[in-house]
Structures are given as C-alpha cells and as structure tokens.
Structure 1
Amino acid sequence: MADKVKKVPGPDHPIEISRNGNRVVVKAGGRVIADSRRVLTLREAAYPPVHYIPREDVDMSAFERTDHSTYCPYKGDASYFSAVIDGRQISANTVWSYEMPFEAVGEIKEHFAFYPDRVDSIEELAA
C-alpha cells in the first residue's frame, strides 16, 4: 500500500456517516437478499448517498466473493461480491465492502453497499 495515497475527509471532500432510521430491503433474483433496520448511510462529497447494510442482515448464501477490487484514498480497499441465486449469477460485482476501512470511516467495516442497477430493488421503508 506504500504506493497508494491515503487521504482524510475534510471540508474539500466531506464524508458523513449516519444511522438510518428506516428499514432497507434489497431484492435480487426475485428474492430478499438483505433486510435491515441497522443501516448506515454514507454521504460523500457530491456523490449520491450510499446505504451500508451490516453483513449479519445480508443473506450471505446469495453471494460469492470475486477477484475484483478497487481503492478509495478516503476509505481504503474495497472487496466485491457477486449475487448468485440458485447457482445462477444474477449480477457481477453486485456489492462492495470495505473489510479494513480507514479509521475515519471505520463504522462501515463488515457492511455491504449495493449497486442499485445490479439488483432488482433497494427499498427504503419508513420506520
């Protein structure tokens, strides 16, 4: 990681993580693959907000780890998982997860973030 730049969120690139009081349900392949009332919502600079769902609230049997990875100078290395339902891949690299995030965003450790265009739906239901 010596060649990777590490940055700290600040006024020029703010990152805010907050508890989301709503229930979030994610469906893929016609079934629920995540259902949580313990969602964190990450707001980063001008990007759209992203829901991070604890792995305990994700049907891990519906995912396979892939070799794909990315790096964010504010959050660290992201691992990816594809949705696989009944032995059939629904979408590639459906979710990402920061398994060892930088301290500034440590709350998102062991959480999954879903690409909205790679699942059937992400529903946010009022509490």
Structure 2
Amino acid sequence: MKTSGPNPVITLEELPACLVVKFHGIQVAASSHVLVLKEANYPPVYYVPREDIDEKYFARTDHTSYCPYKGDASYFSLQVPGAEGANAVWTYENPKVSVKDIQNYVAFYPDQVKFEMIEAEA
C-alpha cells in the first residue's frame, strides 16, 4: 500500500568544508558557510550565500519555477568569456517558512559547474 505524506523530509545542514564553484575554470563562488539541502531521494544540493558569489558572472533571467515545498525560484545564467550557462543558478528569494534558511542563498546545477571541496583543518 502506497502512502504519501504532506511533505518530503527536507533537511538542511552546514557543510563542514569550504566549497569552491567553478564555471569553465573560472571561480564564480567560494564559501565556508554552505548549506546542504537534502530532500527525499534527490541528490544533495549546495546552497551558497549570495555574499560569497562573484556577481559579475551572474545575469538574472526571466526563467522561474515553483516547488510546493520551497516556493518560487528565480534564475541566473553564468557568463564568462567564451561560455554561458543558461539558467545554471537558482535562488528562492522568498522561500517557504520551513526552508527560510535558504533565503539569500543560490544553488547551482551540478552538470553546469565544478564543485571543489577544501576540507577544514582540524
């Protein structure tokens, strides 16, 4: 018998490392304050504070999407010399209360960027 609950279980935890995000070899973000969002059976998603992105590589687009658990998402394309990743980045500017901690953070499609982890020194 299948049952479905009202919400998938969404957890947020701090990444115990510094995350560097590169697009075509160019660093577009780096932060030691990354949140890892885990939802149902989806792969973990890294949310980087907006203050830790290099805004010159980000261009807001008109693209939007809606998640019943997180709210309305807005998108950015990544632009570096010779390359563009259309709608490669998203953000929830007014997320639902249950995930309010991701407000002022952005997330990246992992097939568009390269993530590098720098472990915290003990």
TM-score (normalizing by structure 2): 0.89
| Paired position in structure 1 for 2:51 | 56
SS state of the match for residue 111, structure 2?
helix
Q: Distance in 2 between matches of 1:80 and 1:72?
A: 14
Runs (5+) with no aligned partner, structure 1: 1-6
Q: Distance in 1 between matches of 2:92 and 2:23?
A: 21
Q: Distance in 2 between matches of 1:37 and 1:64?
A: 23
Runs (5+) with no aligned partner, structure 2: none
Q: CA RMSD in A?
A: 1.5
| Paired position in structure 2 for 1:92 | 86
The runs of at least 4 consecutive aligned structure 1 residues that moved more than 2 Å come to none
TM-score (normalizing by structure 1): 0.86
SS state of the match for residue 117, structure 1?
coil
- Could you tell me the percent identity over the aligned residues? 48
| Deviation by residue 1:18-57 (Cα, 9 ceiling, x = unmatched) | 1111110000132100000000000001100000000000
Q: What is the CA distance between 1:8 and its match in structure 2?
A: 6.1
Q: Distance in 1 between matches of 2:48 and 2:89?
A: 10
1:102 paired to 2:96: yes
User: Aligned partner of 2:12: which letter?
Assistant: I
Q: Distance in 2 between matches of 1:95 and 1:62?
A: 11
Are 2:49 and 2:105, in contact at CA under 8 Å, matched by a contact in 1?
yes
Are 1:33 and 1:62, in contact at CA under 8 Å, matched by a contact in 2?
yes
Q: What is the CA distance between 1:17 and its match in structure 2?
A: 0.5
Q: What is the CA distance between 1:61 and its match in structure 2?
A: 0.9
User: Aligned partner of 2:96: which letter?
Assistant: F
| Deviation by residue 1:80-109 (Cα, 9 ceiling, x = unmatched) | 0000124x5521001100000000000000
